[in-house]
Amino acid sequence: MADDIYWQAIIEHDSAFNFQFYYGVKTTRIFCHASCKSKTPLRKNVIYFDSIALAQADGYRACKRCQPDRNAQQDTGLIRLLHACKIIEQHNEGSLTALQLAHSIGITQFQINRIFKKYLDVTPKSYIDQVQLNSLKKNLRASDNVSQAIYQSGIESSSVIYGRMNSHLGMTPKKYLKGGDGVTISYAVGETHLGLVLIAATDKGLSFLQFGDTKHQLLAQLVAEYPRAEISLMAEKSAPQLHHWLSLLNLYLAGCSTELNLPLDIRATAFQKKVWDFLRTIPYGEMMSYGEIAQAIGSPKAYRAVANACASNNVALVIPCHRVISGDGALGGYRWGQGRKRLIIDIEVKKIS
């Protein structure tokens, strides 16, 4: 199952899987990130590695295009964190302790505690508890058998649910920071009506706003988008600003507000900027096709490029790519899933009707 998931990530160049695994090409002896834009190799020639060290130990060289070793050299702590998170989220057999987790990635318990505190502001134990609780909720929705759901969630006994797990119902809503070369961006994760959202910003404005299913996945996407930035938790003094932005998002998603005029500080090509600027002029509750947008910006044959620009949008809702649909009236793709796109469109249409 893992091989199938990894292979699909390679085919789709999915940056959410960066740092979760690396793939090597047996014919070239080169290893890459999942998101590498190089030509997709034959599946029979692909081998997977859990870490850069394992790939290098097996005689593989880092790809010069996606440079998987570059980020590791800049922040080995973050690489270890993502590796540890992957182990936690894939673990479903009995208990998992912080000491076991530390040994599995070759560091001490003190080091693993320090890494989790630095980047997630929680202990490894708290993160393990939260992942298990989320898994339990998912399994309970899919099964009528409580004992089976508990077992499948990797929780050692039902007493844990009513004891230890009740004392930790979630991580702090503070989180992450990211940016480009020489840029510092503070980041945080919060809850919205569309699920988890990660917001990252410079002192000038939002650089990243994305929805996801796990905090680990969102952090991996952020790291992949801004691989050379300094990464740190959002400062306590910035918390009121974050809460304000989250409140605006939730008001918007509740149909109580029709505007999200938040400041932006984003990277874009000239064409992407032209498309994104136009998207922000599409009235609330209205939709346009990729072809109509291409026509409107003076590039009538560039509808595929318009679609790519929409898919590259890193700031959901604020740049309203959800208002772009297929020419035949179909919903079309959406970076954060068609379910979320349908929900947002329904909210807007209902508001104006």
Residues 127 and 134: their CA atoms lie apart, in Å, by 11
CATH of the domain at 322: 1.10.10.10
Is residue 84 domain-shared with residue 154, that is, in the same domain? yes
Q: What is the spatial distance between Cα 222 and Cα 40, in angstroms, rounded to a whole number?
A: 23
Catalytic residues: 32, 321
Which CATH number does the domain housing residue 140 bear? 1.10.10
Q: Which of 69, 85, 116 is the last residue of a domain?
A: 69
- E strands present in 178-276: 184-192, 195-201, 206-212, 230-233
**Domain-embedded: residue 248:** yes
Residues 49 and 101 in one domain: no
Together in a domain, 34 and 97: no
- The domain boundary, picked from 207, 222, 253, lies at 253
Q: CATH number for the domain including 207?
A: 3.30.160.70
In a domain, 174, yes or no: no
Q: Is residue 265 part of a domain?
A: no
pLDDT digits (tens, 9 = 90+) for 106-141: 888 888 888 887 776 678 887 787 776 666 655 555
Mean pLDDT of 28-45: 93
Per residue in 245-300, pLDDT tens? 778 888 888 888 788 878 888 777 778 888 998 998 999 989 999 999 999 988 88
In CATH, what number is assigned to the domain containing residue 23?
Answer: 3.40.10.10
Domain of residue 135 covers 76-167
* Assigned domain for 9 exists: yes
Span 140-195, pLDDT tens digits? 555 555 555 555 555 554 444 444 333 322 212 222 223 345 677 788 888 888 88
Q: Give, in order, the Cα–Cα distances in Å from 184 to each of 56, 99, 112, 268.
A: 30, 32, 24, 17
